[in-house]
A and B are shown apart, each in its own frame.
Chain A
Amino acid sequence: MKDTVVRVSDLGVTYAGTPAIADLDFSVTRGEFVSVVGPSGCGKSTMLNVLSGLLEPTYGSVSVNGRVLYSSGEPLPRLGYVFQTHRLLPWKTVRQNLELVLSAAGVPRQQWSERIERLLDVLQISEFAETWPMRLSGGQRLRVSIARALVIEPSYILMDEPLSTLDEVTARTMRQELSSIVAKTGSTVIFVTHSIREAVFLADRLIILTRGPARVFEERIIDIERPRLYEDARIGQIEAEVVEKVLGAWGLDEPRKEAV
């Protein structure tokens, strides 16, 4: 049996009396790619803030490799985060952006070069090591952002709609590559997206959240062998089934009922 990396237990976050997350429960095992989908404003960002150590929950707990986050004296686990807008430091070259997180993670300096070269090679951006992020395309910036998350060999990686700012053609290529990079590195990933098809395509398991406050509405294993094709009919079929289920749960079927 695979060991659990992230365990979210009975998690709740309340902002000024309004619950953003309520009784959220799920876990992620080592090397698993979990996609989380939910309607806008359901509390996905709040969940990511809790999982990234930025926001202490109102109740419940998050444990990583058996250690409870936010408990006194416990250091935060090493985690990677691929943001929607990449958040690379524009005044640092690609290499310097990676060195910043390596230094923060306490990785010995003699390992930096080897790690950076290897990852840039995997992500096919070796020639941009000394380039400023502003000179890179959206797809290349995303690759750098993924490299930054992977270079510290984190316990888990959070991804917050990282493909949403790309054009569809680049996004398709990047989905395919993301899937293969994650498979190559064996990373544990929690991937948040609005796109159900994208979620199904990438994930080993899909977690569907309710309309806010966020709870787990349903979990579904995606048992399609890898490598996958984005146009695979089975992915389309799962997407259709999920859409059918969530329409009611997310309150999106009222217009349909009215039309009938």
Chain B
Amino acid sequence: MSATEASSQPMPVSTPSRARRAFWSGSGAGSRWLGAGIALALIMVLWFFLAEHLRPWVPGPLQTFQVMGRELASADLYRDVLVTWERLLLAFLASTLIGTVIGIAIGLDKRVEAFFQPLLALMLAVPDPVYIIFAILGLGTGEMAGLVALTLAVMPFVANIVRTSVQARDTSLDEMARVYQVRRWRIFTSTLLPQLVPALITAGRFSFALSWKIVILVEALAQPTGIGARIYNDFSMLRMSEAFAVAIMFTVLMQIVERVVLRQLESRALRWRS
């Protein structure tokens, strides 16, 4: 092969150089892992620093990890996780379902929107602890108070996300369905609902993320059982390592559910886009 021919040949792109470019552009998995690693290392440094200066209020990482190991071997932890999980699931489903129904109704009908809009704006402006306090005052410290407080706190966000999506939908598909005389219910299930899936997933993730935090708060304030109550009790008894260990473990568990389970659901529901 002559030199001219050789120079006109496209240079083969080697895999390492492609990987290098992906790494530096931030699009490769390697750079994402590195970013996460650096963030984690910084958190650990900060934790060590705080533990050193705010002892005994902030326990050290090693001490906390030891407690985690002990807690993981105890049946009490799993019982509390299960209790919290039940409450969370119930409240999450209730707020997502009610929020979705209201969001769709508002998005489809101007009169319903006129009725609900000021109400939702007010509900969005109320701080979450206010719901909890009023629910406890009105319903006592039973299970219902937590459920009601959570639903009231989360539902307006879900309704708002869903409403925006309903109003931004592609109405030309509804028109197509009407031309082909598709029945109303079928139009709803075949053209409207699938268009809402991305919004429903966003609402679901948001609702889940908000729900578990509020559940912990409700349990801390008004329940004798659950992860929130356990953290509160540990804190009251100044068992800071225990409080930290349980809080971290539950947060990690919720992150796994959020990132693994909900993202899996999302990619399944939106596979037609790929």
Contacts and interface: CB of A to CB of B under 8 A. Distances in A.
Interface of A: 52-54, 76, 78-79, 81, 83, 85, 87, 89-92, 100-101, 103-105, 132, 134, 148, 152
> Which 10 residue pairs spanning A and B have beta carbons closest together?
A87-B176, A104-B182, A91-B194, A132-B272, A101-B180, A91-B272, A81-B179, A52-B179, A104-B181, A104-B180
Contacts of A52: 179
A81 B272 contact: no
A131 to B, nearest CB: 10
Report whether over half of chain B's contact residues are helix, strand or loop; otherwise say mixed.
Answer: helix
A89 B190 contact: yes
6 contacts: A54-B178, A76-B181, A79-B179, A81-B176, A101-B180, A148-B180
B173 interface: yes
A134 B182 contact: no
B164 to A, nearest CB: 20
Nearest to A154: B180
A103 B173 contact: no
A100 B179 contact: no
Nearest to A132: B272
Contact of B272 (A103, A104, A134, A152): A134
A102 to B, nearest CB: 10
Nearest to B176: A87
B181 to A, nearest CB: 5
Nearest to A53: B179
Nearest to B271: A132
A54 B179 contact: yes
A91 to B, nearest CB: 4
A83 B194 contact: no
Nearest to A92: B190
B190 A100 contact: yes
Interface in B244-274: 272-273
Name the prevailing secondary structure of the A interface residues. loop
A104 B186 contact: yes
Interface in B179-208: 179-183, 186, 190-191, 194, 197
Nearest to B174: A87
B180 A81 contact: yes
A187 to B, nearest CB: 16
B236 interface: no
B172 interface: yes
A81 B181 CA distance: 11
Contacts of B194: 89, 91
Nearest to A148: B180
A85 B175 CA distance: 12
Contacts of B182: 100-101, 103-104
Contacts of A132: 272
B2 to A, nearest CB: 38
- Which of B176, B194, B197 gathers most chain A CB within 10 Å? B176
Interface string B64-96: 000000000000000000000000000000000
A175 to B, nearest CB: 23
B173 to A, nearest CB: 6
Interface string B150-162: 0000000000000
A53 B182 CA distance: 13
B197 to A, nearest CB: 8
B172 A83 contact: yes
Nearest to B170: A87
Contacts of A83: 172, 176
Nearest to B183: A104
A81 B175 CA distance: 11
A92 B272 CA distance: 8
Nearest to B181: A104
Contacts of B197: 91
Contacts of A101: 180, 182
Contacts of B273: 90, 134
A85 B172 CA distance: 9
Nearest to A158: B179
A54 B175 contact: yes
Nearest to A133: B272
A120 B33 CA distance: 47
Contacts of B180: 81, 100-101, 104-105, 148, 152
Contacts of B186: 100, 103-104
A165 to B, nearest CB: 14
